[in-house]
Amino acid sequence: MGGVESWGAITRNPELFAAAVPVCDGWRLDDVPKMASAPVWAFHCERDSTEPLQLSRDLKAAITKTGGVAKYTEYPGIGHNSWTKACDET
Rounded to two decimals, what is the model's pTM? 0.89
Domain coordinates of the chain in residue numbers?
2-89
pLDDT at 89 over 80: no
Which amino acid would we find at residue 85? K
We find that the CATH architecture of domain 2-89 is 3-Layer(aba) Sandwich (3.40)
3-state helix, strand, coil in the chain (%, to 5): 45, 15, 40
- pLDDT for position 1: 60
- Residue 61 · residue 83 · CB < 8 Å: no
Q: Mention every residue, 6+ apart, whose C-beta is less than 8 A from residue 11.
A: 27, 31, 34, 35
Segment 70-89 shows an average pLDDT of: 86
Instruction: Return the bridge partners of 70, or none.
Output: 40
**3-state SS, residue 15:** helix
Q: Which is it for the CA torsion 34, 72, 81, 52, positive or negative?
A: positive
Q: Which residues pair with 71 in a beta bridge?
A: 41
Under the banding of pLDDT at 50, 70 and 90, the label for residue 90 is low
16-73 pLDDT per residue, tens: 999 999 998 889 999 999 999 999 999 999 998 888 889 999 999 999 999 999 999 9
Closest-CA residue to 17 (of 37, 32, 42)? 37
